[in-house]
Structure 1
Amino acid sequence: MAAVSLGSLSLPPLKCRKVAVCCSCVNGSLRPITVSGNPPTFVSASGRRIVAVGDLHGDLSKTRRALEMAGVLSSDGQDLWIGGETVLVQLGDILDRGEDEIAILSLLRSLDIQAKSAGGAVFQVNGNHETMNVEGDFRYVDPGAFDECMDFLDYLDEYKGNWDDAFIGWIRATEWWKKKRTSESYWTRWNFLKRQQAVIARSSLLSPGGPLACELGRHSVVLKVDDWIFCHGGLLPHHVAYGLERMNKEVSSWMRDFSESNDSPAVPFIATRGYDSIVWNRLYSRDSADEKYQILQISSILEETLQALGAKGMVVGHTPQFNGVNSKYNERIWCIDVGMSSGVLNSRPEVLEIVDDKARNMTKGHT
């Protein structure tokens, strides 16, 4: 395994920007996508089709199936963006319960680069399993994901510190590295050394300031695309009052171990800790039998949140939906975590599509 000292890696800097042009129009029919905040917080993508994909949990095969269903990924195995000017939003929980976490992150970054050249874009929001891993909580890590971390560290040596090329290229290299592994399991109860090396490898990648933590820090915990809010758990009025850009920046700074005073920033509690934080909140997505508050009370909280942001609706993941992608509260909430990963419910992938401010479950009518 490669040495776990990663100080020589060239990592993307955290540079604040107020508004950035993400792409240019291809055919002149649409305005350029514009992004406010770093990480992205407010996105203007007028006239574009939006597709949203829920929790992926390390299942690369189901990820590809979902993206193919969404009409943004080629089905020829080449991992090509075919979505044109579509905006893709992934709702977090890429980590844990499956073995291809880094490969999925790599695929999404590659697709984002391709999408921008076509007039589209790919956005991700972090979920509770991303924040848990940055905190060092590895309770739900699949043994194969520990293997992937060790392979990835060895693979990084070949790129001599060029993080971007290495990270984007991992989706093409991952199968070769899997085949290279020996048939001996890392996870026999006698193989304590391998276990320790695997945990150290994951920690070096995902601890605050580590290269994968910095990569996650490029993404938001809440994103507004035109009139729609996207977050993993759910946004509440006190989150809005605190400030969306402020929360995104604080989570990003914590993950990247960055602060203007050069002191390590504290864990952003309001976004990442507690039952009502953005990544943990289940108020809008749990079954009615489990709701603590009456439907009218929840509707009132939701309306207050959406009105404060001038939003039409909110799209959330986090809570597996046994009846598939569905809407609640007069279609103001869309719940899109269907537990598709083999490590969760192993269900059929489903995708939400938003066109002209109208949302629908794309799976209906598909096999």
Structure 2
Amino acid sequence: MLKTLYKGFILSYLLITISCTTNQNSSDLIQAIDNRQTDKALRIIDQLDNLNEQDSLGLSPMHWAAKRALPQITKALIKKGCNLNITDVHGYTPLNYAIKADNAEIINLMLKNQAVVYKNGLSNLSDGPFVDWTEKGLYAYYLKHDSISSKSFLLGKFINQNTRYFKGWNGDTTTYTITDNKIPAWEFKTQEPIFVLGDIHGQYDRMVKNLQAHGVIDKHLKWSWGKGHLVFVGDIFDRGNKVTEALWLIYKLEQEADKTGGKVHMSFGNHELMVLNKDNRYIANDYKNLCNNLGLEYNTLFHSNSVLGEWLRSKNSMTKINDILFVHGGISQKQIDSGMSTQEINELVRQYLISGSSPKNQDKLNQILKSFGPFWYRGYFMDRSQYKKITEQELISILEALKVSRVVVGHTENDELSALYNGKVIDVNIPLAEDSIPNQALLIKYGKFFRLTEDGNKTLLN
């Protein structure tokens, strides 16, 4: 009898002790996180079942882990099933606190585990897919804001690493095939037609209409240019709100063209360099709103281990087809005087976008990346504070040094695709954001140069 009573006493004592310890540890957990005592917090997390208790301000342990920027504790809380979208007394989720703490690791961790933030007053927004190479495989995701629920969030999933093939979701019906990346050649000889487009700047719909109007792609957006060449002279990025769609289409057409003996060439423009170097000043407002809501920097969507980011960083700064050089801005005499070859510039810029500059290449990169360089130069069209407009004789000297007869450029806008300096320079940059200006493209065929318009007009250039 006494033994039974003693056992009952011990059991009751243990239950009371466990109950008290649980209540105490809930407060202790928040205190440990607040004091950044990681080991103590992790021990308490292992012991607790309810990890969603909130303090007087409505802050849960997950809020505190985000506030104190503690990724190890955040991971442990997520693993135990802690509510990522619990709100405090002001309506803020843990992700809001992670964004304010500016901790990219926690932000990405939360987003990939269905965290949301609430934002009123925005229309429906969506962008993607973005695809990352990760240790666990290929991870694809969209950024989204739903105006009805006022939520911004990420929709992501892993895709089949073996097939590298997936169908879009989130209202996206496109099929995507991921291929191994390779550095393209920069010199080509061909008798096939060459179709050239200027700066796209996110104007995907007008780009598609132009390609379809002239038979480069069909109504299903498939390559129909045979063995022909398609050239983009840079600036796919910025200003417009369909940059991602444009990049994926070029990525796909590149694969399809290779299968038929054709080629797609995409050179860097100054806006590619800006975005890949964390300069997000000119991105469209939709992108700014989505990224700001989710605590993301737009350029990080194209990091070097993302599919599009790796692909972009493989591209050339200049491409030569037959005796024509395709470059975004132009080649100045100062660039020629630097003694750098086209191939060296292509290699230096690629390396710069992967690893940055070093004392060994800093001087050369300064020459390439500034106003006299191939991405920013406007000397074929106007005086600038750094230089005067070039003369035809000076241009002839540059072309001779490059061993080409013509240069095709974008960068500087013109309402009409035109040839200058007796056909030695052709400017293909038509401002696509201006609907009143007709779509135009350059066709090079049988050694002749034509301005094409969407309505079917074909004009021989000088």
Q: TM-score, normalised by structure 1?
A: 0.69
CA 1:250–1:290: 2 relative to 1, 3 Å: closer
Deviations 1:44-99 (A, max 9, x none): 22x1111110000011101101212342011x2x1111111110100110000011
In structure 2, the residue matched to 1:225 is: 321
Amino acid at match of 1:351: A
- Pairing of 1:1-367 with structure 2 (within 5 A): 1-2=111-112, 8=134, 38-45=183-190, 47-74=191-218, 76=219, 78-146=220-288, 186=289, 195=292, 197=294, 199-200=296-297, 202-207=298-303, 211-240=307-336, 241-257=339-355, 268-272=365-369, 274-286=370-382, 293=388, 297-322=390-415, 324-340=416-432, 342=433, 347-363=437-453, 366=456
**Alpha-carbon separation, structure 2, partners of 1:8 and 1:278:** 34
Deviation at 1:335, TM superposition (A): 0.5
User: How many residue pairs get matched?
Assistant: 284
TM-align CA RMSD: 3.3
In structure 2, the residue matched to 1:177 is: none
Please state whether the residue corresponding to 1:338 is helix, strand or coil. Answer: coil
Please state whether the residue corresponding to 1:126 is helix, strand or coil. Answer: coil
Asked whether the 8 Å contact 1:90–1:123 carries over to 2, the reply is: yes
In structure 2, the residue matched to 1:34 is: none
CA 1:258–1:277: 2 relative to 1, 3 Å: closer
Asked whether the 8 Å contact 1:213–1:255 carries over to 2, the reply is: no
Deviation at 1:111, TM superposition (A): 0.8
CA 1:198–1:349: 2 relative to 1, 3 Å: farther
Asked whether the 8 Å contact 1:210–1:256 carries over to 2, the reply is: no
In structure 2, the residue matched to 1:170 is: none
Deviation at 1:198, TM superposition (A): 5.2
Which protein shows a greater Rg? 2
Q: TM-score, normalised by structure 2?
A: 0.55
Amino acid at match of 1:41: W
Asked whether the 8 Å contact 2:132–2:305 carries over to 1, the reply is: no
Query: What 5-or-longer segments of structure 2 have no aligned partner?
Result: 1-110, 114-129, 139-181, 458-462
Deviation at 1:312, TM superposition (A): 1.6
Deviations 1:263-317 (A, max 9, x none): 9986933332x2211110011134x8999636xx521221112112221211000
Deviations 1:106-156 (A, max 9, x none): 10111111112112110001100000111111110002335xxxxxxxxxx
Asked whether the 8 Å contact 1:317–1:335 carries over to 2, the reply is: yes
CA 1:279–1:209: 2 relative to 1, 3 Å: farther
Please state whether the residue corresponding to 2:207 is helix, strand or coil. Answer: helix
Please state whether the residue corresponding to 2:196 is helix, strand or coil. Answer: strand
Higher relative contact order (CA 8 A, sep 6+): 1
- Between Structure 1 and Structure 2, the one with more strand by share is 2
**Alpha-carbon separation, structure 1, partners of 2:451 and 2:344:** 32
